[in-house]
Amino acid sequence: MSNNKQRPIGVFDSGVGGLTNVRALMERLPMENIVYFGDTARVPYGVKSRATIETFTAQIVEFLLQNDVKALVIACNTIAAVAGQKVRAMAGNMPVLDVITAGAEAALATTRTNHIGVMATSTTVNSNAYARAIHSRNPDVRVQSQACPLLVPLVEEGWLDHEVTRLTAREYLKPLLADDIDTLVLGCTHYPLLKPLLKAEAPGITLVDSALTTAEAAAQALAAADLLNSGNGSADYRFYVSDIPLRFRTIGERFLGRSMEQIEMVSLG
């Protein structure tokens, strides 16, 4: 596109979860065109080596750059933790936002007691990425992280208000609540769909939705770079995946909160 402001935002994830970030961007920046890539053929990334994750990430970023994006959103905690620097090096001066940085900054702005909890996948917890991001900004904050490996399959099953999910979340929350946190980061792109359930199980705790915080960070970064789309036309959304597995559309539309019309399969690497 000849007009820099009308160029799309590129959003990417190892799978389908990053669509919660697309949803938040659609709501926060309704004029913006968006290109999404989910590496559904090679998910999950969490079990792969750093070198492999960086290789896959470079292929995705190259694809998005070929689609003339004006900004990049890393909507994947694993990629943000392992390959964030790689993405920024490839992007040059382009704004690059990621869920970990945005989530950490929002948690620090929210906490009153300096006791922050993080719910995430085992890979993200083991990477210590949220604690590092928080402590680099305020070393005095206490961070308690909890791996929640069972929540992703429950969300993908659609059990958002199921008793099994409620009991599972309750178990994961126990050590966090025992640590007297006042702020809880939802450190996985699947978890925003569980906000109503988590609010009920952890009353009085402020939830930090990394999808919402990343969308807000994107809005600020685009404004600072004078790249906000001020056009009057309807926004264009394109969805690319490396495989279209069984139930992808059903799960994707649950995450996105609307129908997915333009899904195209592309092969990378």
Listing from the earlier edge strand, what are the strands of the sheet with 34-38?
Answer: 96-98, 71-74, 9-13, 34-38, 237-241, 263-265
Catalytic residues, which ones? 76, 188
Q: In angstroms, rounded to a whole number, what is the distance separating the alpha carbons of residues 45 and 76?
A: 9
Instruction: List binding-site positions.
Output: 13-14, 45-46, 77-78, 189-190
